[in-house]
Chain A
């Protein structure tokens, strides 16, 4: 059973639809029991980091997520919340990945913020990526990014290189939206499901 963490963040319907397209039914829940028992957990996210983090703390979901032992996939703000600290609302996050989240600082007129649209990933990872996905285009919408650290398994360069994907133990996360990244995103979701 695949569980999707239910909290005050958007894009959950898109994630469910993407899973359905690859033949997986995702259960949306904030129930500790169900989350702990699930084979896989997806931690989605669209929204503001500090309000999302406060919501997780009030519900006790912060500890639940950190204690999960099955494969977990954070998406977008989900990835950011799994880092140590976010500049968005100046908030301490879950601290799973050894990096902080900062706001993009534009250096010229061609570098618009938010970073919106299709950009390429550079990766040698073969757990949720494949060799063919190196240099593939994925869909991004974000104004904050996680810096590169030892947990980084894919990078994208926009204004500066940042973590396109992170992995530590059973925790995986992508800054881009696999659920909106066409065929490439479907491959990544399938690889995660098959972990």
Chain B
């Protein structure tokens, strides 16, 4: 049976992870490669690396990070941040990324989705959407949630799918950081209206929230950052909990033998 995926997300700035990471006995908490490797050993099913650097120099460093991740980690990984063209995608894929995530640039230039899908296949293109509930409507935001747009979540997600997105990564800005659970109603609506996989993001605070997001939200994957970084929930513990709630997740091979 297809497993539900657990995806830690790492913010990378100038080649180092930011947002603080609270692993005990961890040699270099700032190194995204080492941290990604650690998560992969613990049973993360995929990894997302978001480049939050603004400078040109920083971007070059990020490419190097992507290459090092590819060399060291044997699970799929997605990279996002600052991708504005097919050429940007080609560079990242050649450095070893499996998928890219586009957000603001897709809202500004929706054709970028068509272009990425036709050049590299739908599976490469994740469209990330940051949205917030305003007067009973989910409004999409640009630039890491700073600028509201005309686009509405459901219509935009559907358009992205029709243009060739392989997955939708939906972050509820209302739930993000609050740790009271994911936006399960909106996720379930996306599940009902789309035919591509949906990654849920924003709101994870305890293990029960993951059961909810898979059962009520029907998400295909759940993404979280701080609860993993600060060791509030460990991935093996989360997977055991999901298993005891009859939710299929990938078992780590070495634990089986």
Contacts and interface: CB of A to CB of B under 8 A. Distances in A.
The secondary structure that dominates the A interface is: mixed
Contact of B2 (A10, A115, A136, A183): A115
A182 B74 contact: yes
Contact of A118 (B5, B98, B257): B5
A117 B4 CA distance: 8
Interface residues of B, number: 38
Contacts of A116: 123, 166-167, 197, 220
B5 A117 contact: yes
Interface centre among A106, A116, A177, A187, by most chain B C-beta atoms within 10 angstroms, is A116
Contacts of B256: 132, 136
Contacts of B191: 109
B195 A117 contact: no
A21 B74 contact: yes
A14 B70 CA distance: 7
A107 B223 CA distance: 27
B1 A106 contact: no
A187 B256 CA distance: 14
Contacts of A21: 71-72, 74
A185 to B, nearest CB: 6
Given A112-B195, A117-B45, A158 B2 contact: yes
Contact of B3 (A47, A119, A177): A119
Interface string B48-76: 00000000000000000000001110111
B226 interface: no
A48 to B, nearest CB: 7
Contacts of A132: 256-257
A180 B78 CA distance: 12
Nearest to A12: B94
Nearest to A139: B76
Nearest to B74: A182
The 4 closest A-B pairs by CB, nearest first: A137-B250, A118-B250, A118-B3, A183-B253
